Amino acid sequence: MTTRRANISLDKKLTGQYLRLFRNLGLLILVIVALATAAVVYFDKRQVEDLSRQLISSTAATVVAQLTSFFKTEDNNLRTAVEQLQMIRNHDDLLRKDLFFRLSPFLNRHQNASGILITQLNADNDYYGILKTDPAASEFLVRIHLAGEWGRGKAHLERWKKGQMLESWFRKDDFNISARPWFEKALGADEHVIVATDPYLFYTTNQHGITLSTRWRKHDPERQFILAIDILLSDITRMTQAMRPTANGVVFVLTHDFRIVGLPADERFKNEDSVETTLLKPVQDLDLPVLKTGVSEWERHGRTRQAFPFEAQGRNWWAGFAWVEDHPEHAGFWTGILVPESDFLGALSLQRNFSLAVVAGVGLVLGLILIVSAVRKIRYEVREAVSHIGQKLGPFELLYKIGDGGNGTVYRANHALLKRPTAVKVMLPQFASSESAKQRFISEVQLTSRLTHPNTVAIFDFGQTPEGTLYYAMEHLNGVTLEDLVRISGPQPAARVLHILHQVCGSLREAHDQGLIHRDIKPANMMLCERGGLYDVVKVLDFGLVKDMHQDQPQADRDNAVVGTPFYLAPELISDPSMFNALSDLYALGGVAYFLLSGRNVFEGSSAMEICDMHLHDEPPPLSRRTSRDIPPDLEAVVMACLAKKPASRPQSAGAMSEMLTQCKDAGTWTRQQAQKWWAENRSTLPVEEHEDTHSPLSDTQMLIDPGGRSGR
């Protein structure tokens, strides 16, 4: 029967270990995949961001360069025309009809120029202008005003085609040169300086454009001329529509006051009429939602010169703007570039999929490594667990492993003659050769064996094998640790907590009266048991760190080290490890009570050092703020008193604390029937004999070296 039970227990333990292994591995793989996916998505987003910024920057530079080149070309054309006109020796020939043969080839060669006009600065403001009407057929309209020959208010018009004048006629001339914007600009500038108008509607053609002009004179200083060239905005639109940074990206050009002068590529702007009716409209009047949103977001960003993201029509876009200086005293232009993020994702999908495949492969390999490593570890633990099974240590026969302590392994055993269930703690083999480890093990047994309180685990026997392995036997307990209690059923009722604390105080009172300090009071070291038909009997366990205040400390304990569990360390132990006393145990017991009532530790942090720092400097949050349950004020007052920073402000003994608990309103109200009902309802969820390691890493007993090295707040 014993062998069968041991086998069942071992099988159950192995099954649980493998289930936990595969569960944890599954969670680990999911976490790895999730983190990898998040990393790839983040990396992908960064790539899209970097590519967007680079593309917008390069496109903006290209647009600026092309617009600058566009205007510089027209400037050079204007200067070339001036040079040609200056070669005419007779001043009067400057405004004669044979001027057509000098200027019309100029218009044919320069496709961006739609018209050219020369005017003499005199009382009549005579002028000679040529307008391209059909560039493909070399057809022009000439307009001449010579007041000395034909009188004021009359213009002579000529229609030319392929160098032949087809017809001519006179008509009334209401074209006031001096009222033209380019005329005023040229008059206000120095000679030979080329100036540009703001975009406007041309008088003769009803088309939108810009006029470049310059003032100059022949050798006679009294005779000045202005030469002007008209440039159509539709030419700028052709440039912007031809520039597509991506398949769905667009380029456009705005005036300083946000009127459109270079339209983006769009099916609606494929013919000249639709372009002309849209040019110079304010951006907010355009039926271009993405463009309007991009400009509005740019305004909101303070007209930044940096690329920025925005959302429009359910898509993510990137936008960038650059300033174009074209001529002195001209307001200039803004060029804008809009690119949807989706245009980049297609190009990046192959790289993204490759990255995901690599991550998945690495995750799989890592998972296999973890599985192999974990299986080896389990096999090693199983060998260790069964190495003593069936072995006899003195009068005790070891049946199966229950759990591990800091310096030994605990086995379920039977007394060979009495057949009484027993727990035997066997010193770990790696400590067998250490005299100091042996001394600590012996000290633990000797000090604990002096305690006889019914709420303290009882020691039955102590011995040493011929091989030098130390062991001791103690009563075997079936129950649940206080840590598992909260894990199973959450925060506990105040009456039950009072019932538990009162028993712990009794155990500590006996130990403290004998000068023994536990030094590792925590929920995992207290077990709630069923003993002799009584329920909720508390047993205080693991006196592995117990110290006798009546004896000198060994050298190992006089080192500058803190021992204990971070969640339950008293402030004075952190400041000076040699200051352990009974009040340090009561501080830890206050932390246990806090945990039982709220389900949370007094202080919680990401590291042991952070938690210790909180114990030193932070005031414990009131229990009423950490739980929605009603906490009796009298019990909360006792708990918070135990957690006082100064030992003098705490209850001065376990007995005094027990008296304070007795005075609480709910003391003695936890009945046997309530306890029995809880055990009946939860028995199936309780760990049966085997120890389930469900503690968080910081709930384990730890040793923190060099507390004096911490920096204060």
Q: How far apart are CA 284 and CA 299, in angstroms?
A: 12
Active-site residue, selected from the candidate residues 173, 520, 536, 542: 520
Residue keyed to tokens 């208010």: 153
Q: How far apart are CA 711 and CA 713, in angstroms?
A: 7
Cβ atoms 243, 62 nearer than 8 A = yes
Distance, first Cα to last Cα, the chain: 61
Give me 488's structure tokens. 């199973």
Give me 55's structure tokens. 């593309």
3-state secondary structure 522-573: CHHHEEEEEECCEEEEEEECCCCCCEECCCCCCHHHHCCEEEECHHHCCHHH
The single-letter DSSP state of residue 263 is: P
**Is 520 part of the annotated catalytic residue set?**
yes
Q: How far apart are CA 693 and CA 24, in angstroms?
A: 13
Question: What residues form DSSP beta bridges with 196?
Answer: 212
Give me 100's structure tokens. 């057509």
By three-state DSSP, how is residue 69 classified? helix
Q: How far apart are CA 4 and CA 20, in angstroms?
A: 24
Half-sphere exposure of 117 (CA within 13 A, CB side): 28
Cβ atoms 294, 310 nearer than 8 A = yes
The single-letter DSSP state of residue 282 is: B
Query: What is the DSSP code string of 457-507?
Result: PPEEEEEE-TT--EEEEEE---EEEHHHHHHHH-SPPHHHHHHHHHHHHHH
Cβ atoms 522, 568 nearer than 8 A = yes
Indicate the residue type of 321.
F
Nearest to 550 by CA among 515, 578, 582, 508: 515
Give me 214's structure tokens. 């310059």
Cβ atoms 682, 536 nearer than 8 A = no
348-351 long-range Cβ contacts below 8 angstroms, 24+ apart: 348/44, 348/47, 348/48, 348/51, 351/47
Cβ atoms 161, 139 nearer than 8 A = yes
Catalytic residue numbers, as ranges: 520
